Amino acid sequence: MKIRRAIGFRSGLIILVAAFLGQACGDKTLQDYRNQQANADAHALAPAANTYTGMVTALGGGNSETGTALGNLAISLRVDEIPQPSSDNLGTEYRAALNGTVHYVGVDGLTGDATITNATYDSSSGQFSTTVGLTDDDNASYSMEIEGNIANGHMTGTIMVDSNVNFGGKIDLSTNSSQIASSQQLSTSDRGLELSAESGVFEGTLAGAPVSLTINDRDTSASQTFLQIFSPIHLLDVVVNDGNPISMGTGSGSTAQLDDETGQLKGHGVITVGGFQITAYLSCQAQYQGKIVNAWDCTFQNNHVLFTRNHAGSATNAAGVPANGTARPTPPKKPAPSKGHAKK
């Protein structure tokens, strides 16, 4: 009898608890609660959803003075509800996400585009942040960080790559912005123009024979534009010519890039020797006269070479006065943009 009473008591308890939960839940299913939470999350993100446009200016350091116009920026944000399997794998639940795009416009039609996914926004404080992944030609990874505050249709903050303040930008954007940099402002501010100090033809000797080093800008992908503007990394077209030109930076299996902070230039390209394809490596250190590069101290295929500017690329001092007393040369003409993404 005791056993039966115990069993009967438990059964009654289970029925009472189930009835109580049914009344408390108001007949809502677990799926209903999941949808309700997704709607609440979407509602909290909704105030940030808009398109913000305006200028981005230099934080200072790098090649630009504080406040220099670096370009125009448009950040578009939207709230997406992303379907995903429920935690119990018995259904589908929705997750609210703040996604969007970043569009950059610089000098001479230079543009950059990147995708924003899973940005964070605090509706109570207005704090906003997102991280966009970037890669160079060697597939090395970089993080572009956009952080700031959104309030009353106005976004203020910073944009940096790998938290590098020296090359970072200050953003001041709004949903109805009149703060757009003119082409005249941008024509003298784009950091890529500083490459005229590094670009050109340099001459040296390799195993007693003449060899030249030619450096120019080149086309980049839309997302790599951000790497070139907001970091010290510049992707280049480099040719080493000892009678058999070796291209680095264009073509399959080749790359060349300059680190503006360290003055290091590195590249590699594929060459054919005796019917076999091998990879040739170049590693250089810039030699400066003032702010102008007048020589490259390089190692090429385990051989040391000192490349110096030829007459068509004579070095100048920081004041722009030719170091050898000749007229200052015109920098080599840079390739025209092929798809609007060429670095100028």
**Over its length of 344 residues, how does the chain's per-residue pLDDT go in tens digits?**
333 333 343 444 444 444 444 444 456 676 677 778 778 889 999 999 999 999 999 897 766 778 888 889 999 999 998 888 877 776 777 889 999 999 999 876 788 999 999 999 999 999 999 999 998 877 889 999 999 999 999 999 999 999 999 999 999 999 987 667 666 566 555 454 344 567 789 999 988 899 999 998 887 888 899 998 899 888 899 999 988 889 998 777 789 999 988 999 999 998 877 788 888 899 999 998 877 888 999 998 877 788 887 644 333 323 332 333 222 233 333 344 334 343 33
Closest listed residue to residue 121, CA positions, set 43, 207, 61: 43
Residues whose CB is less than 8 angstroms from the CB of residue 294 and which lie 6 or more positions away in sequence, other chains included: 287, 288, 308, 309, 315, 323
Tokens 């125009």 -> residue: 72
DSSP 170-212: EEEEETT------HHHHTTT-GGGGGGGT-EEEEEEETTEEEE
Closest listed residue to residue 311, CA positions, set 204, 203, 194, 224: 203
Burial 180-204 (b: 16+ CB within 10 A, else e): ebeeebbeebbbbbebebbbbbbbb
pLDDT at 329: 31
Burial 322-341 (b: 16+ CB within 10 A, else e): eeeeeeebebbebeeeeeeb
Q: Which residues pair with 92 in a beta bridge?
A: 85
Is it true that 32-40+47-186 and 191-313 share their CATH fold? Answer: yes
- Asked if residue 68 lies in contact with residue 89, where contact means CB atoms within 8 angstroms, the answer is no
Closest listed residue to residue 208, CA positions, set 246, 245, 247, 243: 243
CA distance 75 to 85: 30
- Asked if residue 71 lies in contact with residue 190, where contact means CB atoms within 8 angstroms, the answer is yes
Domain spans of the chain? 32-40+47-186, 191-313
pLDDT at 4: 38
CA distance 332 to 322: 16
pLDDT at 171: 95
CA distance 279 to 246: 10
- Asked if residue 220 lies in contact with residue 343, where contact means CB atoms within 8 angstroms, the answer is yes
| Domain 191-313, CATH among 2.40.128, 3.30.1710, 2.60.40, 2.40.50 | 2.40.128
pLDDT at 76: 96
Task: Determine whether 235 is exposed, middle or buried from the number of CB atoms within 10 Å of its CB (0-12, 13-18, 19+).
Answer: buried
Enter the CATH code of domain 32-40+47-186. Answer: 2.40.128
pLDDT at 288: 85
pLDDT at 332: 38
CA distance 342 to 334: 9
